[in-house]
Copies of this chain bind each other. A is one copy, B any other.
């Protein structure tokens, strides 16, 4: 039988990696023995911490899919964030919590909800299909929700996410606040990364109307520490702007303890940041108070002002 490749977005984060594992397990439980969890890039430090802590192997690394391959997309739906050649694959299912940015020539299973994390939806799917949530699966789900909602503090957090975290912490037998802070802090360790790697860790290509942009988000427990690399980061950003012909590169340096983001904005449309947030960039950078969510606090505001 043909395999079913299950993967999240490029520059994978904890939600994307755990969702591919959790969805593959659900598919298997529902009788699809050919489900294979995959990933489109290297693990970040946070996800490494999670998989190490739980003793779980990472999903298989792939770059592209073959023509007519069966695929299931989790935690993304836009072709630009997906595997190469996705336009020639057969998408069987999509489970996601992002805006809709794909089209198909055929009907398919789509489950999208405006919640904080894909795993919150997957938890519902397990329940609806009466599939048992093991301690391991619960730990994966829990880790992703903590990651995406920054310990339930991000404005993307919904009641469903809070409810899921409470239930999953019970099954996982984890003190979710203690575990969660350790996990988030592990994710802020940038010491092993080159500038190029930092700039692609959680980078998303987003067009604000006609403004071709990349928005990259880096979590930290100390904005100052990251700003020590500012000159090198800007050099790297300018190179990417040139190579990819971008109008804007936004680097969000997000303080996970105090829930703010320092933004570095480069490119000929950098002033869009000033307009959108009514701020003044000084030396290409400014603190956006209370901004921690790219999806809720960056994409809609930047799009509206573009």
Binding site for B on A (CB under 8 A): 97-114, 124, 128, 295, 299-300, 303
Contact = CB atoms under 8 A, between A and B. Distances in A.
Nearest to A99: B104
A99 B105 CA distance: 6
Contacts of A105: 99, 299-300, 303
A106 B99 contact: yes
Nearest to A115: B107
Given A100-B102, A109-B113, 6 more contacts: A98-B107, A99-B103, A99-B105, A107-B112, A109-B112, A110-B113
Contacts of A128: 124, 128
27 contacts: A97-B107, A98-B107, A99-B105, A99-B106, A99-B107, A100-B100, A100-B108, A100-B110, A101-B103, A101-B104, A103-B103, A105-B300, A105-B303, A106-B114, A107-B113, A107-B114, A107-B295, A108-B112, A108-B114, A109-B113, A109-B114, A110-B110, A110-B112, A110-B113, A111-B111, A111-B112, A124-B128
Pairs of residues from A and B, 4 with the lowest C-beta to C-beta distance, nearest first: A110-B112, A107-B114, A100-B104, A99-B104
Nearest to A77: B100
A108 to B, nearest CB: 6
A236 B299 CA distance: 47
A100 B97 CA distance: 16
Nearest to A127: B128
A162 to B, nearest CB: 17
Nearest to A116: B107
Contacts of A106: 99, 114, 300
Contacts of A111: 110-112
Contacts of A295: 107
A98 B107 CA distance: 5
B100 A103 contact: yes
Contacts of A97: 107
Contacts of A104: 99-101
Contacts of A101: 103-104
Nearest to A78: B103
A100 B101 CA distance: 10
